[in-house]
């Protein structure tokens, strides 16, 4: 994502995420940096077109991974399937990234964090 414009207000620390995208716009997370996305706003941040944002690793993970990074996940996602179903093939990888990013655990973007550490 090359440009970010916040539309939704940021929820309070620990409150349910509303998709404002501020956390990813301010700085990439450690997971994004591991994948080479080091500049803000995070290059994995996706705009749904309605003012909400999501991490692309939880919506289109294979788009952001190199072939070697994704090969084991393609195999895992296709285990036990008789045919490749596009909607299901990303499920394991999406769940893995949601877990790594603590999706569903509340907003962890604290704008006063740097002030507290001074």
**Predicted TM-score of the model (pTM):** 0.76
- Between residues 93 and 33, which one has the greater pLDDT? 33
The range of the structural domain enclosing residue 96 comes to 22-109
Q: Is 56 strand, coil or helix?
A: helix
pLDDT given at position 29? 92
115 domain residue, yes or no: no
71 sits in which H/E element: helix 67-78
72 domain residue, yes or no: yes
8 domain residue, yes or no: no
Work out the mean pLDDT of the chain and round it to a whole number.
82
The residue assigned the tokens 């569903």 is 104
> CB under 8 Å to 112, separation ≥6 — which residues?
none
CA 102 to chain CA mean position, Å: 10
pLDDT given at position 79? 64
> What are the tens digits of pLDDT across the range 100-117?
898 888 998 876 654 555
Within 10 angstroms of residue 27's Cβ, the number of other Cβ atoms is 15
pLDDT given at position 74? 75
9 domain residue, yes or no: no
66 domain residue, yes or no: yes
50 domain residue, yes or no: yes
Cα 110 to Cα 11, 22, 115: the distances in Å are: 10, 10, 10
> What are the tens digits of pLDDT across the range 3-14?
788 889 999 999
Q: Count structural domains, the chain.
A: 1
Between CA 58 and CA 98 the distance in angstroms is 6
């Amino acid at each position: 994502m090359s440009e970010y414009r916040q539309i939704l207000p940021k929820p309070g620390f620990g409150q349910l995420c509303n998709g404002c995208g501020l956390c990813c716009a301010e700085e990439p997370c450690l997971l994004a940096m591991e994948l080479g996305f080091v500049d803000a706003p995070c290059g994995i941040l996706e705009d749904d077109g309605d003012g909400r944002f999501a991490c692309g690793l939880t919506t289109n993970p294979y788009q952001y991974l190199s072939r070697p990074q994704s090969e084991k996940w393609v195999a895992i996602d296709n285990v036990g399937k008789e045919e490749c179903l596009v909607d299901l093939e990303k499920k394991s990888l999406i769940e893995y990234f949601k877990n790594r990013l603590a999706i569903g655990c509340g907003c962890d973007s604290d704008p006063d964090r740097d002030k507290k550490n001074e």
